[in-house]
Amino acid sequence: MENKKNIKDYNLDELKKEFENLGEKPYRAEQVFKWIFEANVTSFDEMTNISFKLREKLKQNYIICIYKIIKKQESKDGTKKYLFNIGDDNAIETVLMEYKYGKSLCVSSQIGCKMGCKFCASTGIPFVRNLTSGEIVEQILAVQREEKIKISNVVLMGIGEPLDNYNNVLNAIKIMNNQKGLNIGARHISLSTSGLVPKIYDLANEKLQCTLSISLHATTDEKRSSMMPINNKYNIEELLKACKYYIETTGKRISFEYALAKEENDNEEDAKRLVKLLKGMLCHVNLIPINKIENGKYDKSSNENIIKFRDYLNDHGIVATIRRELGPDIEAACGQLRKKEVKE
């Protein structure tokens, strides 16, 4: 990727500092920021209110990271999955979902993942590296260019553990939020974590308005550790303590994700324990019919059981809904994303 910096990696304040170092006025940085994130241009030459001299200077110092689509798949339900060539030997996946309220994009935060959750398709792919903030945001820009649409919601639920790439993810959120660019309000951004407890405290202290989703998936440490190795490091008690801190500090409701696997975590005892664990918390439970992955040992719970589980929670004071499955036919549903090599 040469030695030039990706101009999309900078939030507006940082870009102003960069421009200062180049001997340029801060308002020029703002103009360029708008070209990049609002007009979504792909070359410096399109920045018509920027002098030729400055454009040349920018070209010498920066690149504009632009993804090329290797493959685009469309589901019967309208969900679209993109495999992007991100410029080196790596590829990432991004999913576009259409809802009544707008267009939501599920973005990846890392190439591969270190968490090793037993039910997730990202497991078994070696971790390669973190995505930079510009690489995270380019997923939105690339889809907006391709589809000629405006993304209204972003979920950080693609490949990777967002809190394991904390600084870049936070900066990406800052860039998304800026009204002079993508203008996606924090309330329209969700971040999902497998439970990196210290980072949940850090995130709470940022006092962002984005929604935090916690991948809980089990009600005992024994079961959760067998599904999610991260639980050996931070157990359910520590995790829920951090969640309570998050709620107190931000005033925001937390969303708990619970993927129902047949005869693993889907019986009435689990529902009872879940009620006990979450009682009194400002939260919501998102029940996900687990998606069976290749060679995976977890099977989907029956529809009847999923409804029973939801009703038990609702009858006992815990708000629970069943997540609609989108894009299962193109392997774009929860947990099905899998990084493929560009060479494939």
One of 18, 161, 264, 331 touching ligand SAH (CB under 6 A): 161
Q: How many residues bind ligand SAH (CB under 6 A)?
A: 18
Residue 117, Cβ density class (10 Å: 0-12 exposed, 13-18 middle, ≥19 buried): buried
Angstrom CA distances, 63 to 42, 55, 92, stand at: 10, 11, 19
Minimum gap (Å) between residue 262 Cβ and ligand SAH: 12
One of 112, 181, 327, 335 touching ligand SAH (CB under 6 A): 335
CA-CA distance, 129 to 149, in Å (whole number)? 29
Among 93, 135, 161, 264, the active-site one is 93
Q: Assess contact for 96 and 80: CB atoms under 8 A.
A: yes
One of 151, 288, 306, 326 touching ligand SAH (CB under 6 A): 288
**Cβ-based neighbours of 334, under 8 Å, separated by 6 or more:** 157, 259, 288, 291, 323, 325
> Rule CB under 6 A: is residue 94 a binding residue for ligand SAH?
no
Q: Assess contact for 332 and 75: CB atoms under 8 A.
A: yes
> Rule CB under 6 A: is residue 290 a binding residue for ligand SAH?
yes
Identify the CA nearest to 214 among candidates 197, 202, 198, 232. 197
Among 120, 243, 283, 334, the active-site one is 334
334 is catalytic: yes
Q: Assess contact for 8 and 138: CB atoms under 8 A.
A: yes
Q: What string marks each residue from 109 to 128 as x (binds ligand SAH by CB under 6 A) or -?
A: ------x-x-xx--------
**Residues from 255 through 274 that contact ligand SAH (CB under 6 A):** 257, 259
Q: Of the listed pieces 34-42, 167-175, 191-199, 312-320, which binds ligand SAH according to CB under 6 A?
A: 191-199
One of 75, 153, 291, 301 touching ligand SAH (CB under 6 A): 291
CA-CA distance, 82 to 172, in Å (whole number)? 20
Q: Of the listed pieces 34-42, 53-61, 169-177, 288-296, which binds ligand SAH according to CB under 6 A?
A: 288-296
Q: Of the listed pieces 36-44, 90-98, 287-295, 302-310, which binds ligand SAH according to CB under 6 A?
A: 287-295
Minimum gap (Å) between residue 247 Cβ and ligand SAH: 18
Q: What string marks each residue from 199 to 238 as x (binds ligand SAH by CB under 6 A) or -?
A: ----------------x-----------------------
User: Which tokens in the block code for residue 185?
Assistant: 């309000």
> Rule CB under 6 A: is residue 246 a binding residue for ligand SAH?
no
**Cβ-based neighbours of 133, under 8 Å, separated by 6 or more:** 8, 9, 11, 168, 169, 171, 172, 175
Strands 189-193 and 153-156: parallel
Q: Any idea what DSSP says for residue 9?
A: G
93 is catalytic: yes
Place of tokens 């308002």: 27
Task: List residues near ligand SAH by CB under 6 A.
Answer: 115, 117, 119-120, 157, 161, 192-194, 215, 257, 259, 288, 290-291, 293, 334-335
Residues taking part in catalysis: 93, 334
